[in-house]
Amino acid sequence: MMAKKIFLFSLIFSFLFVDLPAVATAQAGDLATQCATLSESNTGCSNLNNTECRALLEKCANYYDQQSAQISQDITKTTQQKNTLQNQIASFKKKIQNLEFQIKQSNVMVKDLGLQISDTEVSINKTSVKINDSQTQIKNILQSIYEEDQKPSVQILLEGNLSDFFNNLAYLESLNSQVSGLLESTKDLKSYLTGQKDKMDGEVGQLQKTIALQSLQKKENEQNKNEQEQYLKLTEAQYQQQLKDKQEAEKKSVVIKSKLFQTLGVSKIPTFGEALEVAKTAANITGIRPAFLLAIISQESAIGKNVGQCNLVDTTTGAGKRISTGATVIRVMKPIRDVQPFMQITSALGRDPYKTPVSCWIPAYVNGSPSGWGGAMGPAQFIPSTWNLFDERLKALLGTAPDPWGIKDSFTASGLYLADLGASAQTATKESTAASRYYGGSSAYARNVMSRANCIQTFIDSGMMSTNCQNLIF
């Protein structure tokens, strides 16, 4: 009975722990398939309600962001591998060049020694001839001395002068001594030259061995270089594929995030709850903290309630009027910088530029002269020239022509700008700096934004908001 229980327990245990990874892999595969289908679909989420569709789109957005991040890491590693291979190839090329120089140098030395050996061989041959001549002379002299010694005394007396005989004999012996000395010197010279030739032959042999070794080293380095170049080609192909995969993941991510925005039904002036949902989506797309993004929008326009109290009137001077009273207001929009972009933006959206609300000039003076301009648009309060900097990126994310007065559009634009300013780090310091730069370097503005962000973050975490925070936000 106990054995059966143990067997059943083991069976269940193995089933759980063996099959779970396979289940997880299957689920991951299913998500990838679902996300790929969604990114290519023109009809949205089939057989899912809006809430379910939104949840799936958020999963897909995270999936493609993670995939893109992983590929970025792979690209970094591949780039490092490429750099390492390129450095190794450069090193092998340098070694090959150095060995080629050494081989050329050794060949020159072999050639020079060959010439010296040839000259030495000629000298040895000449010396050998001299030795043979000297030996012949000595032989002849010795023969003459011998013949003189063999003459009978009677013959010497009969031939005449006795002193001539002895003088001739002495001459022959002196000549023999000189020739013998020359012979020894010549033999010494031949021995020296032969030794030099043998030495140079040895040097040539050693140089030829060195050249052979250098040639072998050169061949090995060339083989290594060729191998590394082949690896580099493979690595480059891998690198290009990774770039392609990353672009594809980013492209699908943009499509998914665009569809995610389309699931949000937001009124012209959103409720706090609607604004928070938009902020979460826009923040997820742009990589910043939702509470911080909503705090910026809250500070700028009371979450879309105050998008501007003036209209542009004069495109030449930038003067305008207050919407509520019709009173003239100077410096509503900077003519050189913002009027033309503003006219283009409103024209593209079918808006009347002279009836579209923008911010009024906040009176400020430097040394008695007016400073600054109005003209900021929509909930995020972008000036036209700045909005145009984000136009293409917004089109890619939203899938439509971006509208500065649209809730989704303005939140996304603000998120992109804040991310560019460093808020994607999601630290208090980076966010405070980004907020300050968002409003031209104002530290007071940044403090107000961070206070609002803390209130909103508390609400996100706990669902609660203090009276002070409510007064600040609403």
Q: What is the pLDDT of residues 306-322, one digit of tens each?
A: 999 999 999 999 999 99
Which of 473, 435, 428 is CA-nearest to residue 452?
Answer: 473
The 10 Å Cβ neighbour count of residue 107 is 13
29: pLDDT strictly greater than 70: no
| Assigned token pair, 413 | 């634009």
**Is the Cα torsion angle 430, 432, 433, 435 positive or negative in sign?**
positive
Domain boundary assignment for the chain: 2-40, 52-256, 260-473
Q: What is the pLDDT of residues 42-66, one digit of tens each?
A: 766 777 787 788 788 888 888 888 8
397: pLDDT strictly greater than 80: yes
CA distances from 52 to 45, 230, 254 (A): 9, 50, 19
Q: How far apart are CA 51 and CA 403, in angstroms?
A: 25
The per-residue pLDDT of the chain, averaged, comes to 81
35: pLDDT strictly greater than 80: yes
**Is the Cα torsion angle 438, 440, 443, 448 positive or negative in sign?**
negative
Task: Name residues whose C-beta falls within 8 Å of residue 414's C-beta, 6 or more positions apart in sequence.
Answer: 282, 293, 296, 297, 300, 379, 380, 382
Q: What is the pLDDT of residues 78-127, one digit of tens each?
A: 888 888 888 888 888 888 888 888 888 878 887 777 777 777 777 767 77
Q: How far apart are CA 343 and CA 196, in angstroms?
A: 97
Out of 3.90.1280, 1.10.287, 3.30.70, 2.40.160, the CATH code matching 52-256 is 1.10.287
Buried b (16+ CB within 10 A) or exposed e, 162-194: eeebeeeeeebeebbeebeebbeebbebbeebe
284: pLDDT strictly greater than 90: no
The 10 Å Cβ neighbour count of residue 3 is 7
- Compute the average pLDDT of residues 450-468: 94
Which of 179, 183, 180 is CA-nearest to residue 131?
Answer: 183
HSE-CB for 126 with a 13 A CA cutoff? 8
Q: How far apart are CA 454 and CA 295, in angstroms?
A: 9
Identify which has the larger pLDDT, 68 or 353. 353
pTM equals 0.54
Identify which has the larger pLDDT, 359 or 185. 359
334: pLDDT strictly greater than 90: yes
